[in-house]
Amino acid sequence: MVTTQISKGVSRALTERKVKTMCIMRIIVAALLTVALSACTPKATSQLLAAPSIAREGAKVENERGIIAYQEGHMDQARQHFEAAITVEPDLAEAHYNLGMTLYRLGMVGDGDHHFIEAANLAPGHKIIWDAPPLRNAAPGDKDLIRAGSDGHMHSH
């Protein structure tokens, strides 16, 4: 009888231990899945573009400062830096794209469209630039249409 009680106690303890171990394992697996899936989830912030290494140094510096200001939520400062980058190097497609992103965040969609289209004209076929809001439905071959006066929504005004 004592052996039976010990056996039941050991069995109960082992069962409780298994349940606790299973709970801990489930928590670990859930945490790992959460981390793994969050790495695959697109970030809420939009991707900005660094200036290429061949860009003028002043334009690269201003563009980078603009990216930092944008990421910190300082849209007016970001706008000033991207505009300064464009002043230094007017053909810097990345700065036009970044300025377009900033202007969108400031609610200045029309002005943003202008810079997205300018970026597309300067960098035909650039995947990220051509995925900008006003260009999503345009093919890189439509560049001439955009340059000829479209507002980026693939119709002229």
Q: What pLDDT is stored for residue 37 in this prediction?
A: 46
Q: What pLDDT is stored for residue 138 in this prediction?
A: 57
20-73 per-position pLDDT tens digit: 776 676 777 555 555 454 443 333 346 899 999 999 999 999 999 999 999 999
Separation between Cα atoms, residue 20 and residue 26, nearest integer Å:
10
Q: What pLDDT is stored for residue 21 in this prediction?
A: 73
Number of H helices, E strands in the chain: 6, 0
65-109 per-position pLDDT tens digit: 999 999 999 999 999 999 999 999 999 999 999 999 999 999 999
Paired with 156 in beta bridges are: 150
| C-alpha dihedral (9, 10, 14, 16), degrees to nearest 10 | 20
Separation between Cα atoms, residue 15 and residue 143, nearest integer Å:
69
Q: How confident is the model at residue 154 (pLDDT cuts 50, 70, 90)?
A: very low
Which has more pLDDT, 119 or 13? 119
